[in-house]
Chain A
Amino acid sequence: MSYAFKDFHWTRHIPIKNYFLPKTLSEALNILAEYQGRALVVAGGTDVLPQLRRREIDAEALVDITHLPDLKSIEERGERIALGALVTHASITSSPLVREKAKLLADGAGYLGSPQIRNIATVAGNLVSGQPAADTSTPLLALDASVTIASKDGERIVPLTKFFLDTGKTILDCRREILTRIEFNALKEHHGCCYLRLSQRKALALPILVCGVLVKVDKKRRVIEEAAVALGPVAPIPFRAIRVEEALRGSPISKEIIEAVGTIAIEECNPRDSLLRGSSLYRKEMAKVFVKRGLQKALAQVGFPVT
């Protein structure tokens, strides 16, 4: 379906015929099955409603999952933290558990949209929208997150690195499946982390570049044991900069290694020239700056300032 923007940017009409608020997961999946792809899952709706109004997506019915039980919790489970699908950005940013053990995610979620959006937009929805600039994707990638997807055939658990396919596209079919849970690593004392974001304004602005960094250090040997570096939107999907991570693994903490991986980061990015987000050249250069700055900040947190 393609309509010209001028025809529809001003319409107030949301072209759906039915709105369901199922009380159980199986009820929700049944409705989706009945509609055979003509119904769409919605939670906070902050992406879906404007897209429907602008006729960018098309649906006959919405299946609102906000009344499903047990999907609002934030829990520590051993080494991991689990979020239900209905956890909002506001509850993540204010959660003491997430602030303590996944600070970069709390920070990322705190940048999204505006206070009003953060109050209803869910983290699961942010992932399902599949935008390479999503504020929770890069922190979650760095935290080795996985997601649980429910469908009529049962549940499957997928690592987040396998979840994104293309801009606006993920392996989840939001007309047949529901993302029910997100799980990720809980950080410990020897972990340093940070989330960096570049945008035109400090509020309500889409990011030009986001970067999630995580390091685990061996304090005695002054060595980086493990590192995770995730970047967006400098390719069609947010991604882990694997070659940067490989170069960091086992390396002594030094100015030289940080300098070296900054250069590798440039090679891992493939941003397009964009009127909104700046030239490819600029964003590649900034990816280098952010990877270096992110590592410096994360290392400083665990007692190794490198300047």
Chain B
Amino acid sequence: MGTVKISFKLNGCDMNVEVLPNTLLVDLLRDVLGLKGTKVGCREGECGVCTVLLEGEAVNSCILPAVKVGGKSVVTIEGLVKENGQLHPIQQAFISEGAVQCGFCTPGMIMNAKALLDKHPHPSDGEIRSGISGVLCRCTGYRKIVQAIKTASQAGGRK
């Protein structure tokens, strides 16, 4: 099976990689590029823990062939941290509100929250809930997750 060369932007950096035609984006990120922040659970598009931003939109990287991101921009949870190591306001809010239990869903939740706040800086509770409706929290701590996203939006959690 021949490899395919793709170029894309990952967390703001230019990437040139060779992938197989059947490599999924989540496996490229985790196993080849070593970015283990993005989690993988169901591999079915059901649980949302593998969410990344593709051209600013939340997508499930477990059902996205890596070749599809050629020429596009991808942001993962690692891309939210500032260069000086300072956490993104949404990440900060998840910590301060106690919205992380085992933490498995957290990257997916935060990436969906980011996509939401980029579009609607001040979402209603309902909009927050539908914004994260594609991520399953196995620990079921939804209340605090919603609260954290609210806190982040009040703190201007866009950047």
Contact = CB atoms under 8 A, between A and B. Distances in A.
B91 interface: no
Contacts of A18: 1-2, 21
B133 A12 contact: no
A17 B67 CA distance: 13
A129 interface: no
Nearest to A21: B67
Interface stretch (B41-49, B77-85, B143-151): B41-49
Contact of B133 (A13, A66, A204): A204
B67 A203 contact: no
Contacts of B136: 204
A48 B88 CA distance: 35
Contact of A204 (B51, B70, B134): B134
Interface stretch (A78-86, A98-106, A113-121, A281-289): A113-121
Given A12-B24, A14-B22, A203-B134, A49 B65 contact: yes
Contacts of A203: 130, 133-134
Contact of B45 (A15, A17, A117, A202): A117
A116 B67 contact: no
B131 A115 contact: yes
Interface in A41-73: 45-46, 49-50, 53, 61-62, 64, 66
Nearest to B70: A21
A50 B44 contact: yes
Contacts of A119: 54, 57-59
B63 A46 contact: yes
Contacts of B46: 204
A203 B134 CA distance: 7
B39 to A, nearest CB: 14
A165 interface: no
Contacts, number: 90
A16 B59 contact: no
A54 to B, nearest CB: 8
A204 B59 CA distance: 14
A19 B51 contact: no
Interface in B95-149: 112, 115, 130-131, 133-136
A72 to B, nearest CB: 13
B57 A16 contact: no
B134 A113 contact: yes
6 A-B pairs with the lowest CB-CB distances in the bound complex, closest first: A114-B134, A203-B133, A19-B21, A14-B22, A49-B63, A119-B57
Interface of B: 1-2, 4, 21-22, 24, 27, 43-46, 48, 51, 54, 57-60, 63-65, 67-68, 70, 112, 115, 130-131, 133-136
Interface of A: 12-19, 21, 45-46, 49-50, 53, 61-62, 64, 66, 90, 113-117, 119-120, 202-204
17 contacts: A13-B22, A17-B21, A17-B22, A18-B2, A45-B65, A49-B24, A114-B45, A114-B133, A114-B135, A115-B58, A116-B59, A116-B60, A117-B60, A117-B134, A119-B54, A119-B57, A120-B54
